[in-house]
Structure 1
Amino acid sequence: MDLSGSRDVISSLPDDISSHILSFLPTKEAASTSVLSKKWRYLFAFVPNLDLDDSVYLNPENETEISTSFMDFVDRVLALQGNSPLHKFSLKIGDGIDPVRIIPWINNVLERGVSDLDLHLNLESEFLLPSQVYLCKTLVWLKLRFGLYPTIDVEDVHLPKLKTLYIEATHFEEHGVGLTKLLSGCPMLEDLVLDDISWFIWDFASVSVPTLKRLRFSWQERDEFPKSVLLDTPNLVYLKFTDTVAGKYPKVNLDSLVEAHRSSLVEASIDKLPSSCDAIPIFNNLTHLTIESNPRVGWQSVPGLLKNSPNLETLIFQGLIHKATYRCGDVCLCKKPRKEILSCLSSSPVKVIKILKFGENSDDMEKQREQIKYFLETMPNLEKMILYYNTPSVEDVTEVSSRLQRLVSKVASSTCIVQLISDNLSLSSTVSTNGLLCF
């Protein structure tokens, strides 16, 4: 750097480097650099990334003024850039933006070879994307989020380079057929996120993508479950599924699955919930499974998941507190006396259990300890149990450690190690069956 102040070091950088630096700024701030000098006036035209957000553009009292100003700003930016190549285009807008103006913006960036397209269109009127979005030969990353009328209507789909597809809060015109048609036009797809896709109203939902490696699905309604779900993803290695168990699975191909996250944040009413053991497919290659617990929801699907994961090695619970119900099966005590339980855990291959949010509800601490004791008693292959206990009190950690020491020495296998970790105190306690307690 020239510390004497006699030379403008930044302005002496090559144009391509300066444009690359500007690409990391929000578009409004990057565009403002054009007033610095004659040289900087035209640098913005070569910025490969555009990040346009009407919520941070202006904040006048007149909402019509902000909408008009923002639309004029986008028009000027695109006109200034002309036909220069574009890598990323991110557009986040609320209601008040004229849909007629949006379509030319999208077509503009598609014609310029955009590879990363992020559209968050929070409109209060119905809006359909131009068909060119589904026929773009350069798209590698596509994210679609909509407003009150979230609709995708696809005719022809050909996205030969697309590897990541993220769809949020969206309905398909042809229901399950529309999703199937969209996915069939993505021969290179590796990552798929379907967030709040209401496929429970469809007669049939299908995700059939041979190249898919990672799938995340989330639906937050509590009173419905999907009727029929087909998963034909032979190369899938990661699955995060937040939904109720489907009525049936006519085909499931998850031969490569290694890690799965099953959230119990969503639950159908008891009279509508299908039999979890019958419906849940077999996961032969699954080695890591995460269960998210919630006090309002039971563990109905957990027994089926464990029974149908014959090679499971690591089981992670994000909290132990769940709704007590007779349908939780034999993975917990719930409403059944201990002597009446013949647990499927006794044949479980799980070697490691991690319990996050341990002690989060101090009123239920005794129930949590009973559940831990139950795991230790009934799982013969268990080698390690790790409890993550966040508390600001050293005394709490000491007391819990002492209780665990007494519990483990009575019920755990001689090869099992129990660890209590408190990140807030930078403190780790290890309890083994020989009575050692290490800090």
Structure 2
Amino acid sequence: MISSKKMDRISNLPEALISHILSFLPTEESALTSVLSKKWRYLFAYRPNLDFDGSFSLKCGHGVEPDCVTPWILNVLERGVSDLDLHVTLAGLCLPSKMFMSKSLERLRIESENVIGIDMEDVFLPKLKTLHINKVMLGKGGDFFEKVTSGCHVLEELILIHVYSDFWIRSVSSKPLKRLILSCIDCDKNPHSVSFDTPNVVYLEYSDFVAGKYPKVKFDSLVEASVDLAMTSEQHEHASYEHSVGDVTDFLMGIRSVQTLFASANTLEVLTFCCDHIPVFHNMFSLTIQTCKSGWESLPALLKKCPNLETLVFDGLSHTYTIKCEDVDGCLCKFSGEVPTCLSSSPVKVLQITGFGEAGVETETELIKYFLETMPQLEQLIIYYDTLFDDDVIELSSELKRFPTKASPSCEIQVIFGDPSS
């Protein structure tokens, strides 16, 4: 009873006085008082002194007053925080532009479930090495990419996912940048111009619609890339084999030093209808192809331009018949009755199939047999079969091992249960 009365006396004190009392406690301990009652929930945040170990993480959801968030952020910025991690689910919140004006920040991460706004003006983050932004509206920020890279002199990792603004000229220019993830594929519209002057980037993930032009694409050090280039609905309407509806050749030229490439199904379609010619990828030793919804018309030309390819991965074997299947070098299937030259001269040693069976076991099995009898350098075939029955895996393995492979008689065949990514 005595303890309860003492607690009541403290709780009945003015909030300003309680915040002053909390200032004598370590920040972590004062934050624990937020569970005492509704009154105590946010009192610790109003204490006059906040001590951090250089990092600050804030998750804002239902029950948090939007007007409280900005003072919290400004407070930690003024105190020289080096690592700021914000996860916001509040609707209608506009974060302060001063987050992009800090001499101490080394890592900044802003994520939201609903799109939030930032009235960004200038960018000056001289120590920032990592910037991660997801679902943010930048208002009338102009060329945000150029602002960020010019204001972050030591930036090594840049991740921009679903970042909205009124810009259609995108320019990423940074010498220290090593890792770039850029996803701009929400709005069904072609950007006017996209440029990359990033000679030291070793890892790239890029999702976007085909740009009107690519004035500069410089990825001299690229090791691994995942490319998801897509056509707009308007381009789909006008797409034909006779006339291109766009041209990504300059972009491909800029990434031709890549060693490991993942190309989405959208990208295969773009290579068919929006590409003047495919450059030679001399350094590429591993290529992953995602197959779904579109034909394989661009695959023969792409494989021919990878003279040193060792590993070929099919993410699914969803083959769609098109008129090009009737041409010997118009597809990878055997509708033409002749072996495509990209298969008969293929340097590929390892063929990997993931998601086997999703497009039909019988059809996919015939395609795999076709690869076995036409690809001369195959040393290993690995199939990931995600089935509910172990007998399916054993049966497929036995069937393929009995198959009389002509081109690759010594190929080792493995059928593995499950998915390699799980």
TM-score (norm 2): 0.71
Q: What's 1:34 paired with? A: none
Q: CA deviation at 1:231?
A: 1.1
Q: What's 1:300 paired with? A: 269
Q: CA deviation at 1:251?
A: 0.6
Q: CA deviation at 1:117?
A: 0.8
Q: What's 2:83 paired with? A: 116
Which of the numbers 221, 224, 236 marks the counterpart of 2:201?
236
Q: CA deviation at 1:103?
A: 1.6
SS of 1:123's equivalent?
coil
Q: What's 1:284 paired with? A: 256
Which of the numbers 44, 53, 73 marks the counterpart of 1:106?
73
Post-superposition CA distance 1:90-112 (Å, at most 9, x none): 22223664333212101111122
Q: What's 1:433 paired with? A: none
Which of the numbers 270, 276, 282 marks the counterpart of 1:310?
282
Which of the numbers 274, 293, 296 marks the counterpart of 1:322?
293
Q: Distance in 2 between matches of 1:156 and 1:420?
A: 55
SS of 1:340's equivalent?
coil
Paired letter, 2:92: S
Larger deviation, residues 171-180 vs 328-337: 328-337
Change (3 A) 1:394 1:254: same
Change (3 A) 1:300 1:122: same
Post-superposition CA distance 1:24-53 (Å, at most 9, x none): xxxxxxxxxxxxxxxxx99961549989xx
Change (3 A) 1:198 1:390: same
Contact 1:249 1:280 in 2 (8 A): no
Post-superposition CA distance 1:153-199 (Å, at most 9, x none): 33332212211111111233345523311221111111111111247
Q: Distance in 2 between matches of 1:212 and 1:101?
A: 34
Q: Point out where structure 1 has 5 or more consecutive residues left out of the alignment.
A: 1-40, 59-65, 426-439
Contact 2:356 2:385 in 1 (8 A): yes
Pair 1:79-2:51 in alignment: no
Q: What's 2:333 paired with? A: none
Change (3 A) 1:241 1:351: farther
Change (3 A) 1:127 1:77: closer
Q: Distance in 2 between matches of 1:178 and 1:85?
A: 30
Paired letter, 2:146: T
Change (3 A) 1:381 1:268: farther
SS of 2:125's equivalent?
coil
Contact 2:86 2:111 in 1 (8 A): yes
Post-superposition CA distance 1:335-368 (Å, at most 9, x none): 2335532558456665444332222x2x523443
Change (3 A) 1:117 1:169: same
Q: Distance in 1 between matches of 2:246 and 2:31?
A: 47
Q: Point out where structure 2 has 5 or more consecutive residues left out of the alignment.
A: 1-21, 240-244, 303-318, 331-339
Pair 1:357-2:329 in alignment: no
Post-superposition CA distance 1:246-270 (Å, at most 9, x none): 3321111111111112347x55331
Pair 1:368-2:364 in alignment: yes
Which of the numbers 251, 263, 268 marks the counterpart of 2:232?
268
Q: Distance in 2 between matches of 1:202 and 1:160?
A: 24
Paired letter, 1:284: R
Pair 1:188-2:154 in alignment: yes
Larger deviation, residues 143-152 vs 224-233: 143-152
Change (3 A) 1:414 1:298: same
Contact 1:300 1:329 in 2 (8 A): no
Q: What's 2:416 paired with? A: 421
Q: Distance in 2 between matches of 1:50 and 1:329?
A: 61
Which of the numbers 4, 8, 26 marks the counterpart of 1:45?
26
Pair 1:135-2:101 in alignment: yes
Q: Distance in 2 between matches of 1:374 and 1:226?
A: 41
Mapping 1:221-260, distance limit 5 Å: 221=186, 223-260=188-225
Q: What's 2:321 paired with? A: 334
Q: CA deviation at 1:122?
A: 2.8
Change (3 A) 1:204 1:103: same
Contact 2:139 2:164 in 1 (8 A): no
Change (3 A) 1:383 1:186: farther
Contact 1:312 1:350 in 2 (8 A): no
Q: Distance in 1 between matches of 2:116 and 2:419?
A: 42
Across the aligned residues of Structure 1 and Structure 2, the Cα RMSD in angstroms comes to 3.9
Post-superposition CA distance 1:64-122 (Å, at most 9, x none): xx9xx49x634414628x24233222222236643332121011111222221112233
Paired letter, 2:321: C
Paired letter, 2:232: A
Larger deviation, residues 271-280 vs 156-165: 271-280
Q: Distance in 1 between matches of 2:169 and 2:211?
A: 10
SS of 1:182's equivalent?
helix
Q: What's 2:16 paired with? A: none
Paired letter, 1:259: E
Q: Distance in 1 between matches of 2:296 and 2:78?
A: 57
Change (3 A) 1:106 1:231: same
Q: What's 1:32 paired with? A: none
Q: Distance in 2 between matches of 1:243 and 1:48?
A: 46
The share of aligned pairs that are identical, in percent, is: 36
Paired letter, 2:73: I
Contact 1:117 1:141 in 2 (8 A): yes
Q: Distance in 1 between matches of 2:380 and 2:115?
A: 49
Change (3 A) 1:177 1:292: closer
Contact 2:56 2:83 in 1 (8 A): yes
Q: Distance in 1 between matches of 2:58 and 2:397?
A: 52
SS of 1:281's equivalent?
helix
Change (3 A) 1:405 1:322: farther
Change (3 A) 1:130 1:299: closer
Q: CA deviation at 1:326?
A: 5.8
Pair 1:89-2:56 in alignment: yes
TM-score (norm 1): 0.69
